[in-house]
Structure 1
Amino acid sequence: MKKFKIFSNVLNEEKWLNEQLEAGYKCINISGYGSYSFEPADKKHVIRLDYQGYLSSEKFNEYKAVYEDFGWVHVKGSRLSGLHYWQKENDGQTEIFSDKQSLSNYYKRLMNYASSTAVLFLVFIFILYSGNRFQINEIYLTPDLWNMEGGAFWFAFLFETPFAIFRIIPPFLFVACAIIYINSYISYKRIKKLL
């Protein structure tokens, strides 16, 4: 079974994934584009997300070995950085963070990731839109597109639409990163109060 869903909050993503697993499925693949693959499972499973920055090959192998010693299976994640998806049978030991300090560190890593990614998108937005007054018909760069008629218009319009979409996506990605940062910050502050 495949499902497509996009999240701006990793906590909501983890919750949704666990709802799917609770319904009797096991996650077998996660693409970077919001596509999740599941298969029926005899036993209940649980999934947890962790964010890690760049890890050397040695550190990445150590990181995986620690979780695998406790029965977790690495579903997705790269040593170069990003979210790591860990899944295991629900045996009652379902948390990957042993204490509030490690959970606090997780949210701090997530905040750093979201803020650095948001800055990159902000720079890209500035480069893309600097000096121009943004109008929706200006995202299409084909000369005289709006003056064309018939088949020539539709061919040029349909050909350039994917490129136009690419030009308007950065502001939305910036907002998504800002939302991730704000949610992580709120969770981080809540955990810090408990320490």
Structure 2
Amino acid sequence: MRKFKFFLNFEKEASWLNQMAAQGFEFVGKSIGYRFRPAKPENPNIKIDYRTFKNKADFIDYCTLFEDCGWKHITGTKSSGAQYFKKVKADADEDIFSDADSKAGRYKRLSQMYMSLAMCYLPIFAVLITTGAIDAAAIINPKLLYFTPGLWEMSGTDFWGAFLFETPFALFRAATWALFPLIIILFLIFSYKVEQQYKKTTR
């Protein structure tokens, strides 16, 4: 079974995964959505870290350290960021974090990731505008989305025929042009919200 959810709060995400397990759905992986398989209902202790690694050896050492402490690595790769762990030993600590600063640090890393993505898309968007691939003036004047020569000087059935014919293309053009600024804005919002969660966690 696959479910689609989006979280910016690790505690809420872990709580939801634990609730799914209590309902008989074991969390087994995350790629495009969360993947579950039917299992006996249980009350696990799932925790989430956020960390990327430069090489596979460091990632393996990281996972091994947690497993030695009684936590099984459920899913996550060296570059995925989110790392999911499940407590498997009764004598293991109840949390994978030893202090508040390390627990809050994952929010700081996630916030920086979203900010980096926004900054990567920003120069691409600027190049598209300066090269004319995107007409920024269309934001103020939507008529520029229509390329039919003399469209706005037409009248009657000629106008409506040409207008209705090109409107789907104009809407597609608008959606395509709006994609980059929308992605940039969303990443900036995500970065801000996660940064606020970081500050809240460190208080």
Q: Structure 2 length normalisation: TM-score?
A: 0.68
Query: How big is the shift at 1:11?
Result: 4.6
1:191 to 170, 181, 201: 201
Measure, in 1, the Cα distance between the counterparts of 2:9 and 2:177.
24
- Structure 2 contact 137–144 (Cα < 8 Å) conserved: no
Matched, 1:41 2:39: yes
Match of 2:181 in 1: 171
Deviations 1:131-181 (A, max 9, x none): 5224578789xx75x94988xx8xx96xx96x9756543333333322332
Unaligned runs of 5+ residues in structure 2 are 149-160
- Structure-2 change in CA distance of 1:95 and 1:183 (3 Å): farther
Match of 1:112 in 2: 112
- Structure 2 contact 9–197 (Cα < 8 Å) conserved: no
- Structure-2 change in CA distance of 1:187 and 1:138 (3 Å): same
Amino acid at match of 1:119: M
Query: Greater CA deviation, 130-139 or 113-122?
Result: 130-139
Query: How big is the shift at 1:114?
Result: 1.9
Match of 1:82 in 2: 81
Find the structure with the greater CA-based Rg.
Answer: 2
Query: How big is the shift at 1:106?
Result: 2.0
- Structure-2 change in CA distance of 1:46 and 1:174 (3 Å): farther
Query: How big is the shift at 1:60?
Result: 0.9
- Structure-2 change in CA distance of 1:20 and 1:129 (3 Å): farther
**Pairwise mapping of residues 5-20 of structure 1 onto structure 2 (< 5 A)?**
5-20=5-20
Number of residues paired by the alignment?
182
- Structure 2 contact 71–89 (Cα < 8 Å) conserved: no
Measure, in 1, the Cα distance between the counterparts of 2:26 and 2:71.
13
Match of 2:137 in 1: 133
Query: How big is the shift at 1:21?
Result: 2.4
Measure, in 2, the Cα distance between the counterparts of 1:81 and 1:73.
17
- Structure 1 contact 45–90 (Cα < 8 Å) conserved: no
Determine what percentage of the aligned residue pairs are the same residue: 28
- Structure 1 contact 24–44 (Cα < 8 Å) conserved: no
